[in-house]
Chain A
């Protein structure tokens, strides 16, 4: 895991000091809210329905025990003893007073964290695969490049007042678990025909009001050229992106309005025009230095299967079911990654209490080399756990209330905070998620259904990524009443697709029963138990599911 050197440390401290000055000028009235707003936003401070919200950056979702304990301490001291993990692999605190913000930033800096560029029209926190460095299918660990991009994009003087926010995601080249095709820029590590590892560059993806799947602007760019190429894209966007309408200001609109070919030629022209002074120089030794932080731990030689675990699973049905849904394959034999669900029935998706954070930190330190990730599904991940240790990890997670056995299942719902917190929302998200969880709370039923991604947003800004759920739900306001539209067929992986709206919105109380009918229809139509919901949907089309959705009315 990357550790700050003196440069990183100094900048974060200086930024905290700078923001302290800005908050003081705001509180004294010297700085009007209008001018304070972009400054607080570049420090992750939003004004929400009830209070200021602080979004803390977790670069590429990477945590360790010390950082997570630091977050737990902030939750205890300045908030209501919990935090909310987001689809951008960050954490949000909903109840921090503005006066306390500078102190919170100092405390974050104490554990190597910050809230830099977690909002505002700048390059946001870089996101990645939560299984990076552990997944068997990756070409290479993407995290060193995430860290390099984090550093390059931090306080970039040219790209701090972009037309709109800008999100970059990096995947390691296997299955896409970072949703790179629905980001402003998505990077995928891959080999060219000579076997050299570089990046495919995807651009113009995004969700929100006008969802788009990104287009490939470059099949392959070499590692040394990556940052210069990113600068070319950013400059084209900064100069030509629309600034007359914030809803048309994202790069996806520029790519769409110019057309893929014109956009690509603008980027290539800009890239070709860079002179030696303009190129971003990244010494190989510096890449090596950063890569060294992400070197895999020394794995013990272990057999691919663990008789201890197998026996424990045979004796403990709860462990067995949890292991079936929450363990993920690992590149080292005898090891596994664990998805720790933050979606127990009846809670706000993505929330964790300070006690749970501390428990996770302890478990990670003891069993996972201190390595903890935040997944964009709003769950946590422990990488590098020995199969032998899984029963002990399960027991510890159970004690902490973190052993929900629904990883990747229908009750592992992605949801934005919705109308309960957010001043943009049209409808509640959390209570709909809870009603769906209740409808599918029978473990046998959920086991039968298998993998199914269900995403909920409380408004068209799509923070809950409803467009890329196999089933997506969008809250809308109709004359003061909450209605929920259902979308079918979205996906966020390497076959990224935007879901299609099935028809008119349903009432809050009708959503769960309607989805139950949809799922029953799937179970009756699937070709075999191996055919997942999304596969069946792609084979059969929307019609039978739409019909089931509205069957009651």
Chain B
């Protein structure tokens, strides 16, 4: 299935492992949050360049102190109606300051792409014969947003008031 990074077809050779790192190099696999936390708590191994896959029920706060060791976070959408991944993404980006690849996997449909991008996903695994074209079209449908989010959009509240200082709550 096509992987899109910033809307471009790309590739990734990492393989998901639900049984931890095993003998694989950290850069070859994607592990569960549990495996990652086990690894971090063992002073012997403590790998870098780790990829972690989060389930919707996972608490991203558990990653917050170790984000330096993480180069990819996948967030699973078991069903497109399960919106917990959007909160996970916003937390990772805006609260915990995660800056590397954040990838949506699972049931990813066209009409979620814009929400995902706004929530901070820079990569999606998206199945479509014209994945790049559809992605570009989908994320371009709305040209402005009322809310600030994890993308670089400036909220309409602020765009109407170009002079207002960001601290200008009152």
Contact = CB atoms under 8 A, between A and B. Distances in A.
Interface of A: 5, 7, 10-11, 14-15, 17-18, 22, 35, 38-39, 121, 151-152, 154-163, 224-225, 235, 238-239, 243, 273-286, 289
Contact of B111 (A22, A158, A243, A278): A22
Contacts of B119: 157-158
Best-buried of A157, A273, A276, A285 by chain B (most CB within 10 Å): A157
Contacts of A38: 80-81, 111
Given A7-B159, A157-B149, A235-B87, A285 B164 contact: yes
A225 B111 CA distance: 31
Contact of A275 (B94, B143, B168): B94
A508 to B, nearest CB: 38
Q: Helix, strand, loop or mixed for chain B's interface?
A: loop
Q: Which of A5, A225, A281 has the most CB of B within 10 A?
A: A281
A18 B141 contact: yes
B133 interface: no
B84 interface: yes
30 contacts: A5-B160, A11-B144, A22-B111, A38-B111, A151-B156, A152-B147, A154-B146, A156-B146, A157-B118, A157-B145, A157-B147, A157-B149, A159-B83, A160-B83, A161-B82, A162-B83, A238-B83, A243-B82, A275-B94, A275-B95, A281-B155, A281-B157, A281-B158, A281-B164, A283-B157, A284-B168, A284-B169, A285-B164, A286-B160, A286-B164
A151 B146 CA distance: 6
Contact of B142 (A18, A282, A284, A286): A18
Contacts of B143: 10-11, 14
A159 B167 CA distance: 25
Contacts of B112: 161
A274 B155 CA distance: 17
Nearest to B156: A7
A239 B87 CA distance: 7
Contacts of B15: none
A273 B95 contact: yes
Contacts of A283: 157-158, 161, 164, 168-169
B148 interface: yes
Interface in B121-162: 141-149, 155-161
Interface residues on B, range: 35 or more
B170 interface: yes
Contact of A157 (B115, B144, B160): B115
Contact of A158 (B86, B158, B163): B86
A346 B81 CA distance: 42
B33 to A, nearest CB: 15
B90 to A, nearest CB: 5
A278 B91 CA distance: 9
A410 to B, nearest CB: 42
Contacts of B118: 157
Contact of A156 (B82, B142, B147, B160): B147
Contacts of B163: 285
A15 B141 CA distance: 8
A140 B158 CA distance: 25
Contacts of A152: 146-147, 157
A15 B109 contact: no
Contacts of B169: 224-225, 279, 281-284
Given A11-B142, A14-B142, A22-B111, A151 B83 contact: no
Nearest to A7: B156
A284 B141 contact: no
Contacts of A155: 142, 145-146
A280 B148 contact: yes
A238 B157 contact: no
A284 B87 contact: no
Contact of B81 (A15, A17, A161, A285): A161
Nearest to A222: B170
B166 interface: yes
